[in-house]
Chain A
Amino acid sequence: SYVLTQPPSVSVAPGKTATITCGGDNIAVKSVHWYQQKPGQAPLLVIKYDSDRPSGIPERFSGSNSGNTASLTISWVEAGDEADYYCHVWDEGDHRYVFGTGTTVTVL
């Protein structure tokens, strides 16, 4: 089955850049979506189709996808960006949607 691996945690100082990776076999051929989840809340779509920002998501959020790694980058990190982040793809081999293991972003 297809597995998406993320680092458990990323720590970043305010105003700096946080990069969250999502590793999967040849993930570059898939469309990757990213969700932000704050404590007690439902996930929120922040990046779709590798690098597109939905309406209302700040330009500070960007994404890329190449080779075996997709990435979510948060520039000029703010305290309000503290959350768990999940990547997401469709696995055509197993006919199911797969989510990454999740990364907790902590703003120092």
Chain B
Amino acid sequence: QMQLLQSGPEVKKPGTSVKVSCKASGFTFRTSAVQWVRQTRGQSLEWIGEIVVGSGLTRYARDFQARVTITRDMSTNTAYMELSNLRSEDTAVYYCAGKPCDSLSCPFDPWGQGSLVTVSS
């Protein structure tokens, strides 16, 4: 069974960084791409970026490009998303999701359970 297990909730102060992890099991991690998507309270989904696991190639949404770094560790089947210079507007649930094919038009499946990041002074 394909599954993505994310790290727990975090509370951070403005101006600091957060690093969220996403551990894959039940599918071939190295042939997939891992997406990061966030959802602020009551709002829609917002794509942050992706990493193609095998090559390490990353793509970032323009709005996050200056503050986000996505990495992976193939030895532990884990992907990471680090967001820096946090502000209160970054308070959200952060999801990782698998993209099981190379095409840019591929759907996201499966999804992790989400990690709540709260930014508060």
Q: Which residues of A contact B (CB under 8 A)?
A: 30-31, 33, 35, 42-45, 48-49, 54, 86, 88-90, 92, 94-102
CA distance A44 to B47 in the complex (A): 16
Report B-chain residues with C-beta under 8 Å of the C-beta of A97: 35, 37, 47, 61, 108
Number of contacts between A and B (CB, 8 Å)? 54
Question: What string of 1s and 0s marks CB contacts (under 8 Å) between B13-34 and chain A?
Answer: 0000000000000000000000
Q: Which listed residue (B35, B37, B105, B109) contacts A30, Cβ 8 A?
A: B105
Q: Which listed residue (B47, B95, B97, B105) contacts A98, Cβ 8 A?
A: B47
What is the number of residues of chain B that contact chain A, defined by CB distance less than 8 Å? Answer: 20
Q: Which listed residue (A31, A49, A86) contacts B45, Cβ 8 A?
A: A86
> Most A CB atoms within 10 A — which of B104, B113, B114?
B104
A33→B45 contact, CB < 8 A: no
Chain A residue with the shortest CB-CB distance to B61? A96
A43→B107 contact, CB < 8 A: no
Q: Which listed residue (B46, B61, B111) contacts A42, Cβ 8 A?
A: B111
CA distance A45 to B45 in the complex (A): 14
CA distance A48 to B113 in the complex (A): 20
A-B contact pairs, 7 of them (CB 8 A): A43-B95, A43-B97, A54-B109, A88-B45, A95-B59, A99-B44, A102-B44
B45→A99 contact, CB < 8 A: yes
B107→A48 contact, CB < 8 A: yes
Report A-chain residues with C-beta under 8 Å of the C-beta of B46: 99
In the complex where A86-B45, A101-B44 touch, is A43 in contact with B111 (Cβ < 8 A)? yes
7 A-B pairs with least C-beta separation: A31-B105, A97-B47, A33-B107, A42-B111, A99-B45, A45-B109, A48-B107
